[in-house]
Amino acid sequence: MSNNIIIIDYGVGNLLSISQAVEKCGFKFSITSDEKTISQASHIILPGVGAFGYAMNELKKRNLDKIIIQSAKKGINILGICLGMQLLFNESSEFGSHKGLELVKGEVIPIPSIDSLKNILKIPNIGWYELQETENLELNKKNLLFDISYSKFVYFVHSFMCKPTNTKNILAYYDFSEIKIPAIVKKNNIYGCQFHPEKSGEVGLNIINNFCNFNE
């Protein structure tokens, strides 16, 4: 049976470029906010751009927070992208305190604007950075970086960063000055990319392809 890939539409997402990337990888997909359709997914992609609190409110207005949590408990493969990754965590301090989906333990905090050497860092951080794999990376096919052996430069644009409670959830990070920012996280069937794979060329397409190929 072919995978049933759903891209969630809740008014706060980069839907066009993500859908084009999934299509380029050769997969059929649906873009929807319909609860019944999402409940039948084998793979869910949660995009997101903008502010954490507003995005969570939009999910809740459509009752999508509950269906995402239910899907996670059923073992459905879920990929959060950029803000979508941050929404997977317990809470964020962006423009106040906001609860997230609580699928990955941890918090979302501002990227420091000054490092320990008193260098001023430009925030938001926008640009291409190389993924650095951690010892937690799984060496099997259910791995977003499976079979990507060349340089892994991907595109970031963000002002806040995720801080998992359990560092074993971090599969890759990138160096921003001396700060190691989590770039890929995983907890069981839940995955997150802080970067935009849909805007990251061949590396990003291979990451999307790996996710869409995951089986239960």
Mean pLDDT to the nearest integer, 74-101: 96
Mean pLDDT to the nearest integer, 34-55: 95
* One-letter amino acid of 213: N
In contact, 182 and 163? CB cutoff 8 Å: yes
- pLDDT by residue (tens digit) across 104-157? 999 999 999 988 778 899 999 999 999 999 988 865 557 899 888 888 999 999
pLDDT the model gives residue 161: 97
Using DSSP, state whether 7 is helix, strand or coil: strand
Q: Is the pLDDT of residue 183 over 90?
A: yes
Tell how far CA 147 is from the center of its chain.
20
pLDDT the model gives residue 1: 43
pTM of the model: 0.94
Categorize the per-residue pLDDT at 207 as very low, low, confident or very high, splitting at 50, 70 and 90. very high
Mean pLDDT of the chain: 93
In contact, 136 and 198? CB cutoff 8 Å: no
pLDDT more than 90, % of the chain: 85
DSSP labels, 100-123:
---SEEEEEEEPPSB-TT--B--S
Pairing of strands 89-92, 77-81: unpaired
Q: Show the beta-strand stretches assigned E in the chain.
A: 5-8, 29-32, 43-46, 77-81, 89-92, 98-99, 104-110, 125-130, 132-133, 153-158, 160-164, 170-176, 179-187, 190-193
Ordered structural domains, the chain, with CATH: 5-94+104-213 (3.40.50.880)
pLDDT more than 70, % of the chain: 97
- pLDDT by residue (tens digit) across 122-134? 999 999 999 999 9
Q: At 59, list the tokens.
A: 């999910």
- pLDDT by residue (tens digit) across 54-87? 999 999 999 999 999 999 999 999 999 999 999 9
Positions marked catalytic:
82, 196, 198
Using DSSP, state whether 19 is helix, strand or coil: helix
pLDDT the model gives residue 141: 56
Spatial distance between the Cα atoms of 172 and 21, rounded to a whole number of angstroms = 22
Using DSSP, state whether 203 is helix, strand or coil: helix
Categorize the per-residue pLDDT at 40 as very low, low, confident or very high, splitting at 50, 70 and 90. very high
Looking at per-residue pLDDT, the higher value among 214 and 141 belongs to: 214
